[in-house]
Amino acid sequence: MKKQVILIFGLLCAAFCMSAQQREYALVIHGGAGVLDGVAQDANRAAPYYAALDSALAIGDAVLSQGGEAGKAVIAVIRYLEDNPLFNAGKGATLTAEGTFELDAAIMLGKDLRAGSVAGVKTIKHPIEAAYTVMTKSEHVMLSGEGADHFASEQGLEIVDNLYFATPRTLEWIEELKKGKNGTVGCVALDKQGNLAAGTSTGGMRNKRWGRVGDAPIIGAGTYADNNSCAVSCTGHGEYFIRHAVAFNLCARYKYLNEPIATAADNIIHKELNTVEGNGGLIAIDKTGQIAMPFNSTGMFRAYFYKEKSSPTIIKQVGIGQELITPP
Ligand code: ASP
């Protein structure tokens, strides 16, 4: 009898330890996936990306290390990346076929499954803030086009001319885009209270037409967070990410099939999707603080930090190609 009690206690302990938050806090960023041949190997080309990702990590760390909420960290990081013309989000966004800029963004909190998103907006300087405002100041989840621009202006968000999103480098950048480079941004975070959050912001796919909307602002496709499973942000060929409901799919595999986050993420990115049908990648954190960042493209700008509960050290890495290994 005594032995049985000890065995049951041991099993319960093991189950609890596997599902309890092992890491005090953690954060992962992506800066888009695509054909990044040679960027990681060329120090001059890679340097500004490393610097930007490093700064973004510092912004996230400042929030999480002070006990701030995951959602706040995600917004702060993405807002910074939207201001940075290196990435296809906010200033630096890619062009539509008409030569205009149409931006998509989403935020989701794992605590209560609240979410907000905007699609095809043209004048909001920080689309991620508009997504947050939809979540906090309206009874809706998703607003699109002129209505969303109007809502953001009514709410006092910073409004800019559509040409604000262009950069002096735009022409050169369009040439780069023709080679298939993407640069959407995304961030997922776990805070000290065990809350998960995910956010994504993008200019979409180059030459998009007819008000095309990608996966980023669609809750469950490009962005999802649930404190009972994971937080996920995707980048890549949005049409495939929508069809496979990638972000929710990962959470469902984790929650219902008990797949570890790395297995769930690999199954989706390398088996359900592939380089031709669903080129891209994702970043994810589970409720214990484990992370995954697979991609089936040649590269994906990415960065992470985490702090184990048992150690004072913060582990931090930035990478572009296969050289950056996901931590165990
Ligand atoms: N997923 C985005 C879209 O399809 C593009 C990207 O991540 O580069 O709009």
The residue range of the domain holding 116 is 22-325
Question: What global pTM score does this model have?
Answer: 0.90
> Is the pLDDT reported for residue 76 higher than 90?
yes
- Asked if residues 35 and 295 have their Cβ atoms less than 8 Å apart, the reply is no
Whole-angstrom distance between the N-terminal and C-terminal Cα of the chain? 38
Is 71 inside a domain boundary?
yes
299-318 confidence digits (pLDDT tens): 999 999 999 999 999 999 99
Instruction: Name the residue with higher pLDDT: 37 or 90.
Output: 90
Residue 17 pLDDT level (bands cut at 50, 70, 90): very low
Q: Where are the alpha helices (DSSP H) in the chain?
A: 2-19, 43-64, 70-83, 127-137, 145-154, 170-178, 238-243, 246-256, 261-266
Is 50 inside a domain boundary?
yes
Question: How far is residue 172 from each of residues 33, 75, 87, 88, 290, measured CA to CA in Å?
Answer: 19, 29, 14, 14, 38
Is 15 inside a domain boundary?
no
Is 13 inside a domain boundary?
no
CA 306 to chain centre: 16
pLDDT at position 168, please?
73
Report which of 86, 94, 122, 92 is spatially closest to residue 208, judged by C-alpha positions: 94
Residue 18 pLDDT level (bands cut at 50, 70, 90): low
Radius of gyration of the chain (CA): 19
Residue 11 pLDDT level (bands cut at 50, 70, 90): very low
Strand partners, 98: none
Report which of 184, 198, 183, 193 is spatially closest to residue 285, judged by C-alpha positions: 198
44-59 confidence digits (pLDDT tens): 888 999 999 999 999 9
Report which of 284, 200, 280 is spatially closest to residue 241, judged by C-alpha positions: 280
148-168 confidence digits (pLDDT tens): 999 999 999 999 999 899 877
C-beta 214 within 6 A of ligand 1: yes
The DSSP string of 41-97 is T-HHHHHHHHHHHHHHHHHHHHHHTTT--HHHHHHHHHHHHHH-TTSSSSTTPPPPT
Structure tokens at 163: 């040409």
Overall domain count for the chain: 1
pLDDT at position 313, please?
93
Ligand 1 probe mutation, 86, 177, 185, 205, most atoms within 8 A of CB: 205
Residue 171 pLDDT level (bands cut at 50, 70, 90): low
pLDDT at position 172, please?
65
C-beta 204 within 6 A of ligand 1: yes
Is 80 inside a domain boundary?
yes
Is 10 inside a domain boundary?
no
Q: Report the run of H or E that residue 25 belongs to, with start and end.
A: strand 23-34
Lowest mean pLDDT, pick from 170-184, 189-203, 291-305: 170-184
> Is the pLDDT reported for residue 258 higher than 90?
yes
Structure tokens at 91: 């200033």
Treating both helix axes as pointing N-terminal to C-terminal, what angle do 145-154 and 127-137 enclose, rounded to 10 degrees? 80
Minimum CA distance residue for ligand 1 atom 4: 238
Minimum CA distance residue for ligand 1 atom 7: 235
Share of the chain above pLDDT 90, in %: 73
Q: Dihedral angle at the C-alpha atoms of 106, 72, 61, 289, nearest 10 degrees?
A: -70
Residue 40's region, left for phi above 0, alpha for psi from -120 to 50, else beta, is alpha
Among the atoms of ligand 1, which is closest to the Cα of residue 34?
8
Q: In whole numbers, what is the pLDDT of the chain averaged over residues?
A: 90
pLDDT at position 100, please?
87
Is 88 inside a domain boundary?
yes
C-beta 94 within 6 A of ligand 1: no
- The CATH number linked to 105 is 3.60.20.30
User: Which of 184, 200, 235, 288 is flagged as catalytic?
Assistant: 184
**Rounded to whole angstroms, how far apart are CA atoms 130 and 121?**
9
Structure tokens at 129: 């803030």
313 a catalytic residue: no
| Highest-pLDDT range among 37-41, 93-97, 243-247, 310-314 | 243-247
pLDDT at position 8, please?
53
Residue 180 pLDDT level (bands cut at 50, 70, 90): very low
Is 241 inside a domain boundary?
yes
pLDDT at position 34, please?
76
